[in-house]
Amino acid sequence: MKKVGIVLDKLYVDHNNGPGHPECPERLLVMIDALKENDLLDKLVRIEPRDATEKEITLVHQPIHYRRMKATKGKPRVFLDSDTSTCPISFDAALRAAGGMVTAVDAVMAGDIDIGFPLVRPPGHHAETDRAMGFCLFNNVAVGAAHAVKNHDLDRILIVDWDLHHGNGTEHMFNNRRDILYFSTHQHPYYPGTGAFTDVGFDRGAGYTINVPLTPIMGDAEYMKIFNEILTPVIEQYEPEMILVSVGFDTYENDPLGGMNVTPSGFAQQTRFLKEKAQQYCDGRIVYVLEGGYDLDGLWLSTKSVFEELLELNTTDYGDLDAETKADGIIGRVEKTLSDYWKF
């Protein structure tokens, strides 16, 4: 059985966006309940997080953004945009969330665990260098990637973002670099409105941003075909030294904020695919980190499915990866757009 490390902390539950907000503490509580009820929690290695330092945060964020977030500490409620706010402990939770990602990266690199999965709140992939947005304060996956490059001397990190929403912050932080390749599947046009086919990076990073903007009603078969036909050849050519995954469960078929049709089995398929690619190309080094997902029943079912896959208690079938799907035209367009940079 793989040693799967999980990162949890009380601050991740205590962070509160206010009554009726979809990014609520219950999201994490129901995931923990799924692990307990299915006898999975005791099979996981508990990794204790620490706070990310200001130096680690400012690897990807501007110092003024760090200071703005710190200024919210202890205040009852600060609204950062129309759907992003802080409570008195949100700054502490955000430091611990980014620090949880750093801790998981360190644990995988040290060989203490095979796979890491920080179950953190607040999420991160919308946070830009200079501002919070989309429920996100600091960009957890970006902090982890930058930390891995700087402190573990890695030259090629792949970030896969399968959240319903495009990770605008993550893309913008790395779109002129090639040591961190960003790959995103996302519903489009939809919040935040970024992530077009033609956004492929620039200067030295041209071709190292890969966006797969999707129309609604895409399901398991579409996502797996996209992974197989676009991501597989890119991974073969890029040969990442570590894979980081922004895990959004908001592509779930009943998610209130989404329009996709992914099932718990579909999330397990995506999990298996990336775990196997990590095993094949980067000595198994992979860290998944929680982003979105707002249907509580879907979170419970998907957590069970994903962690059974990670722990090798189940091997989810991919289905027919050559079958015709609703994503075939999109796949062709992405491949044509990226043909100057990758062979498909």
Could you tell me the pTM of the whole model?
A: 0.99
Mean pLDDT of all residues in 205-209:
98
The model's pLDDT over 120-151, given as tens digits with 9 standing for 90+, comes to: 999 999 999 999 999 999 999 999 999 999 99
Distances (CA, A) of 149 to 86, 155, 157, 320: 30, 6, 8, 37
Mean predicted confidence (pLDDT) in 73-89: 97
pLDDT above 90 (res 288): yes
Distance between CA atoms of residues 59 and 310, nearest Å: 30
pLDDT at 1 over 90: no
Give the integer Cα–Cα distance in Å for 194 and 165. Answer: 9
230-272 confidence digits (pLDDT tens):
999 999 999 999 999 999 999 999 999 999 999 999 999 999 9
Average pLDDT over residues 16-41: 98
Give the rounded distance of the alpha carbon of 302 from its chain centre. Answer: 15
CA distances (Å), origin 177, targets 57, 154, 208, 263? 18, 13, 7, 34
Tokens linked to 39: 């006898």
Element (H, E) at 232: helix 232-238
How far apart CA 151 and CA 144 sit, in angstroms, is 10
Q: Which positions are catalytic?
A: 126
CA gap 276, 160 in Å, rounded: 14
- The pLDDT of residue 239: 98
Q: Per-residue pLDDT tens for 309-322?
A: 999 999 999 999 99
Mean local confidence (pLDDT), 213-236? 98
- pLDDT above 90 coverage of the chain, percent: 99
Residue 232 phi, psi (nearest 5): -55, -55
Alpha helices in 133-228 (DSSP H): 140-152, 168-174, 220-226
Contact at 8 Å (CB) between 199 and 183?
Answer: no
Kindly list the structural domains of the chain, giving each domain's residue range(s) and its CATH number in brackets, ordered by start: 4-337 (3.40.800.20)
Q: What is the pLDDT of residue 25?
A: 98
pLDDT of residue 178: 98
Question: What is the mean predicted confidence (pLDDT) over 60-83?
Answer: 98
Above 90 in pLDDT, residue 53? yes
What's the pLDDT score for residue 188? Answer: 97
Q: What average pLDDT does range 91-99 have in this prediction?
A: 99
